[in-house]
């Protein structure tokens, strides 16, 4: 290289760095945050590129490996990122892809690119946020390699060997200057890779952890695609029909793939994806699917005269009735998706609704004609759902009539607070009358309300809606919250919105704090409450209104000094501190078996005083995991439930992020 050439090279290099420097300055703009989520997003970004190559039909295997040095390696057997000279940039294409922000688009292969959300920011962003990154390409019989450092090049593109294969390997180690956490979590990555393998039938994805002495490997490879995904989601459920209904239309502009199965339960579990992204907020593809499902099933029922109404009864099957016990996945590929909504996970493209509707309608209709026994079972179940819906409406109206009379009909057990601004008010849902009594005495009555729960909380996963609504504790909670219940159905028959429908704007407390004993019964009640909220008022969880109180497990005392310990490690630390301070005096440990053992002042100071308490916010990060977790715990499968209760501690961890 001549003097001037090298100058020019470095000058261009600086220009490159300017682009990626923006990424290093404001990483959150590109990957959401610099914590655990953002860190894992780096891996997803690299894997997404390989999946794109698979979608284009050139790659069948992807592997992800965690290395002992903390780096991660992603390999695919695609065509390999091109290495020829890029005309405008005058650099190898690979280098451009790795060092120029948003260069990926210039190599558009006509596959389904993603826009919006955090996906598709480009592998150069990963490079920018890595202490080092190495790219290796197998192509044209040669192995090419280039090294990078914090987004800049560290070596020229070099041929390092010969090969008969094709493919791309990217290894990188996240930059500790950028990320607050640099440890990749196996389970988190495994969940996403498993999901990708379900969504891309036949694609084999291998995950390996070489960081421990005993390496761990999982191979995700599903010949059944979405049908296998439905089976996985419904592991703990009792299927209404063994065979899974599938509709697949691959060779069109908007490929659509759907898998549907009904189970004996009452809940709806529908996941939707656009270009492999989980559209948590739904969108036009989901609307199209729902309306097609309702119409296809209703037409089938009418045509085959399957609705057997009793005397004086009018059975009118709505979308809601066809969603009871429904587990379904819908996956579409859209060339230019418009993502909307709070979390940019709602598909906005209007044209997709009709397209999906037409494909699904025809597919389900064909399927039912060929599988009449499945059709009959589904209609029978929907008819029962319709009957239950009518009974539930009556129960709901009863609740509405009660609450319409104003605050004088607030439940008698509720000790309300004096403040009327919901944003400042908290409701403690307390297990048992005795703890409820202490909480009432210990609270700050200006903004803390107490609702003791005495009876059994009904299992929202197993109970029919009408039964759920006739349960005392559930009625009390609904009335105390003041936000109504149910409604919001978008079925084709117009829905039945009424003033008793759930309306989060009317929520009387913006913090709902579940306070239960730290024992099996306590965790059971807590889970039942969370199941109810999750299934019937998910808005209060996604709105961040639900919390768990964390009462101390121990009181450690030496003379007049007391320390509360919230776990065993804290207990140990407290004992050590006392021993250090005073070797001779006796240390007493009291283990709290229940909240009721604390007097009002103790309950206030440890668990209720906003200055000193610890609250755990309940969020639903991963809808797939959450629905499985709740099903495992609360569904009708006894073995799964036992297993769940045995590993109960994990439950809180899963929910609270
Ligand atoms: C652009 C063009 C071609 C392949 C790729 C990109 C490609 C990118 C990645 C990222 C990870 N793995 C990848 N594999 C391929 C195809 C060029 C050609 O051979 O025609």
Return the CATH number at 375: 3.30.230.10
Contact 436, 452 (CB under 8 A): yes
User: Does residue 392 belong to any structural domain of this protein?
Assistant: no
Residue 203 and residue 266 share a domain: no
Rounded to 5°, angle at Cα 406 from 404 and 409: 95
Here the tokens at position 232 are 């996985």
Residue 248 and residue 209 share a domain: no
CA distance 593 to 572: 18
Position 393 scores a pLDDT of 83
The atom number, within ligand 1, closest to the CA of 78 reads 14
pLDDT-wise least confident of 12-26, 37-51, 399-413: 399-413
Quote the ligand 1 centre to 529 CA distance (angstroms): 49
Residue 230 and residue 214 share a domain: no
pLDDT digits (tens, 9 = 90+) for 218-270: 999 999 999 999 999 998 889 999 999 999 998 888 999 999 999 999 889 99
Residue 504 and residue 377 share a domain: no
Position 10 scores a pLDDT of 46
The string of DSSP codes covering 425-445 is -EEEEEESHHHHHHHHHHS-T
439 to each of 431, 459, 590, 596, 600, how far by Cα in Å? 10, 25, 20, 9, 6
User: Does residue 399 belong to any structural domain of this protein?
Assistant: no
CA distance 491 to 497: 11
Residue 80 and residue 163 share a domain: yes
For residue 615, give the 3-state DSSP assignment. Answer: strand
The atom number, within ligand 1, closest to the CA of 123 reads 10
User: Does residue 302 belong to any structural domain of this protein?
Assistant: yes
User: Does residue 600 belong to any structural domain of this protein?
Assistant: no
Here the tokens at position 178 are 């950028």
Per-residue confidence band for 519, with pLDDT thresholds at 50, 70 and 90: confident
Position 467 scores a pLDDT of 87
Nearest CA to ligand 1 atom 19: 79
Nearest CA to ligand 1 atom 10: 49
Here the tokens at position 332 are 């579409």
**Residue at a domain's end among 162, 188, 220:** 220
| DSSP secondary structure code for residue 164 in this structure | S
The atom number, within ligand 1, closest to the CA of 82 reads 17
Quote the ligand 1 centre to 149 CA distance (angstroms): 22
Cross-strand partners of 153: 148
CA distance 208 to 213: 12
Mean pLDDT, to the nearest integer, of 43-69?
Answer: 95
pLDDT-wise least confident of 121-125, 272-276, 355-359: 121-125
Indicate the top mutation candidate among 51, 52, 121 to test ligand 1's pocket, ranked by most ligand atoms within 8 A of CB: 52
Residue 437 and residue 375 share a domain: no
**Residue at a domain's end among 370, 386, 402:** 386
Residues near 475 by Cβ (< 8 Å), separated by ≥ 6?
Answer: 399, 411, 469
The atom number, within ligand 1, closest to the CA of 76 reads 12
Here the tokens at position 147 are 């090294």
Indicate the top mutation candidate among 54, 62, 78, 110 to test ligand 1's pocket, ranked by most ligand atoms within 8 A of CB: 78
pLDDT-wise least confident of 59-63, 162-166, 486-490, 592-596: 486-490
Residue range(s) defining the domain that contains residue 209: 21-220
pLDDT at 114 over 70: no
Nearest CA to ligand 1 atom 6: 81
Indicate the top mutation candidate among 73, 79, 85, 110 to test ligand 1's pocket, ranked by most ligand atoms within 8 A of CB: 79
The string of DSSP codes covering 304-348 is TT---PPTT------TTGGGTTEEEEEEE--SS--EETTTT-EE-
User: Does residue 607 belong to any structural domain of this protein?
Assistant: no
Other beta carbons less than 10 A from residue 143's beta carbon: 17
Quote the ligand 1 centre to 168 CA distance (angstroms): 8
The atom number, within ligand 1, closest to the CA of 46 reads 11
Residue 62 and residue 178 share a domain: yes
- CATH number for 123: 3.30.565.10
Give the burial class of 317: count Cβ atoms within 10 A of its Cβ; 0-12 exposed, 13-18 middle, 19 or more buried. buried
Residue 142 and residue 47 share a domain: yes
pTM, 2 dp: 0.74
Quote the ligand 1 centre to 89 CA distance (angstroms): 18
User: Does residue 579 belong to any structural domain of this protein?
Assistant: no
Residue 479 and residue 429 share a domain: yes
Nearest CA to ligand 1 atom 8: 81
Per-residue confidence band for 396, with pLDDT thresholds at 50, 70 and 90: confident
Mean pLDDT, to the nearest integer, of 488-500?
Answer: 43
Quote the ligand 1 centre to 447 CA distance (angstroms): 59
Quote the ligand 1 centre to 201 CA distance (angstroms): 20
Residue 378 and residue 279 share a domain: yes
User: Does residue 404 belong to any structural domain of this protein?
Assistant: no
pLDDT digits (tens, 9 = 90+) for 598-645: 999 999 999 999 999 988 888 765 445 555 666 665 555 555 555 544
Per-residue confidence band for 653, with pLDDT thresholds at 50, 70 and 90: very low
User: Does residue 177 belong to any structural domain of this protein?
Assistant: yes
Contact 452, 435 (CB under 8 A): yes
Quote the ligand 1 centre to 171 CA distance (angstroms): 17
Pocket, ligand 1, Cβ cutoff 6 A: 49-50, 53, 76, 78-82, 107, 109, 168
Indicate the top mutation candidate among 56, 64, 80, 103 to test ligand 1's pocket, ranked by most ligand atoms within 8 A of CB: 80
Average pLDDT along the chain? 86
Report the number of distinct structural domains present in the chain: 3
Residues near 461 by Cβ (< 8 Å), separated by ≥ 6?
Answer: 265, 266, 267, 531, 535, 630, 631, 633, 634, 635
Residue 59 and residue 173 share a domain: yes
Here the tokens at position 452 are 């003791």
Quote the ligand 1 centre to 384 CA distance (angstroms): 53
**Residue at a domain's end among 169, 195, 220:** 220
Give the pairing type, strands 85-86 and 72-76.
unpaired
Nearest CA to ligand 1 atom 1: 107
First to last CA, the chain: 53
Quote the ligand 1 centre to 363 CA distance (angstroms): 34
Residue 420 and residue 365 share a domain: no
- CATH number for 627: 3.40.50.670
pLDDT at 399 over 90: no
The atom number, within ligand 1, closest to the CA of 139 reads 19
Contact 597, 201 (CB under 8 A): no
Catalytic residues: 431, 517, 519, 521
Cross-strand partners of 290: none
Nearest CA to ligand 1 atom 5: 81
Quote the ligand 1 centre to 166 CA distance (angstroms): 10
Indicate the top mutation candidate among 46, 83, 109 to test ligand 1's pocket, ranked by most ligand atoms within 8 A of CB: 109
The atom number, within ligand 1, closest to the CA of 168 reads 12
């Amino acid at each position: 290289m001549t003097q001037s050439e090298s100058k020019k090279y470095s000058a261009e290099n600086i220009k490159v760095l300017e682009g990626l420097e923006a990424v290093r300055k404001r990483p959150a703009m590109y990957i959401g945050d610099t914590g655990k989520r953002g860190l894992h997003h780096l891996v997803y970004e690299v894997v997404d590129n390989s999946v794109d190559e698979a979608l284009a039909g050139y790659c069948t295997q992807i592997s992800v490996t965690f290395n002992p040095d903390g780096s991660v390696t992603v390999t695919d057997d695609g065509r390999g990122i091109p290495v020829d000279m890029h005309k405008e940039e005058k650099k190898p294409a690979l280098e451009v892809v790795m060092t120029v922000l948003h260069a990926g688009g210039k190599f558009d292969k006509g596959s389904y690119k993603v826009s919006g959300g955090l996906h598709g920011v480009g592998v150069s962003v990963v490079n920018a946020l890595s202490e080092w990154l190495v790219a290796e390409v197998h192509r044209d019989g040669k192995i090419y390699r280039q090294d990078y450092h914090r987004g800049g090049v560290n070596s020229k593109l070099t041929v390092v060997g010969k090969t008969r294969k094709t493919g791309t390997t990217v290894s990188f180690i996240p930059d500790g200057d950028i990320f607050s956490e640099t440890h990749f979590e196996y389970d988190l990555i495994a969940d996403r890779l498993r999901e990708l393998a379900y969504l891309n039938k036949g694609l084999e994805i291998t995950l390996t952890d070489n960081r421990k002495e005993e390496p761990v490997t999982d191979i995700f490879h599903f010949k059944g695609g979405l049908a296998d995904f439905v089976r996985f989601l419904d592991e703990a459920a009792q299927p209404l029909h063994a065979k899974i209904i599938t509709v697949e239309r691959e060779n069109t502009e908007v490929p659509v793939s759907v898998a549907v199965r009904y189970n004996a339960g009452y809940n709806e579990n529908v996941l939707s994806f656009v270009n492999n992204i989980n559209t948590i907020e739904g969108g036009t593809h989901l609307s199209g699917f729902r309306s097609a499902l309702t119409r296809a099933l209703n037409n089938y029922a009418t045509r085959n005269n399957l609705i057997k109404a009793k005397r004086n009864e009018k059975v009118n099957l709505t979308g809601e009735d066809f969603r009871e016990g429904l587990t379904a996945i819908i996956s579409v590929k859209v060339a230019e998706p418009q993502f909307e909504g709070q979390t940019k996970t709602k598909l906005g493209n209007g044209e997709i609704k009709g397209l999906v509707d037409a494909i699904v309608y025809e597919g389900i209709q064909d399927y039912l004609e060929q599988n009449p026994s499945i059709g009959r079972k589904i209609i029978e179940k929907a008819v029962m759902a319709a009957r239950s819906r009518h009974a539930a409406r009556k129960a709901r109206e009863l609740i509405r009539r009660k609450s319409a009379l104003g605050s004088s009909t607030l439940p008698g057990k509720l000790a309300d607070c004096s403040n009327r601004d919901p944003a400042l008010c908290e409701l403690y849902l307390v297990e048992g009358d005795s703890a409820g009594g202490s909480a009432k005495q210990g609270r700050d009555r200006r903004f803390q309300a107490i609702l003791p729960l005495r009876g059994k909380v009904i299992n929202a996963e197993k109970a029919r809606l009408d039964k759920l609504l006739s349960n005392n504790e559930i009625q009390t909670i609904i009335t105390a919250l003041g936000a109504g219940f149910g409604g919001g159905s978008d079925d084709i028959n117009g829905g039945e919105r009424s003033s008793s429908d759930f309306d989060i704007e009317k929520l009387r407390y913006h913090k709902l704090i579940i306070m239960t004993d730290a024992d099996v019964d306590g965790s059971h009640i807590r889970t039942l409450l969370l199941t109810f909220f999750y299934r019937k008022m998910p808005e209060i969880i996604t709105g961040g209104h639900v919390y768990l109180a964390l009462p101390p497990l121990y009181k450690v005392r030496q003379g007049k000094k007391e320390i509360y310990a919230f776990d065993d490690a804290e207990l140990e630390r407290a004992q050590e501190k006392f021993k250090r301070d005073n070797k001779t005096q006796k240390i007493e440990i009291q283990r709290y078996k229940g909240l009721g053992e604390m007097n009002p002042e103790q309950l206030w100071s440890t668990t209720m005083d906003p200055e000193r308490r610890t609250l755990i916010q309940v969020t639903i990060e991963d809808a797939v995991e959450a629905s499985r977790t709740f099903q495992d715990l609360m569904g009708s499968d006894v073995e799964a439930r036992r297993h769940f209760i045995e590993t109960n501690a994990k439950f809180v961890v899963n929910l609270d992020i």
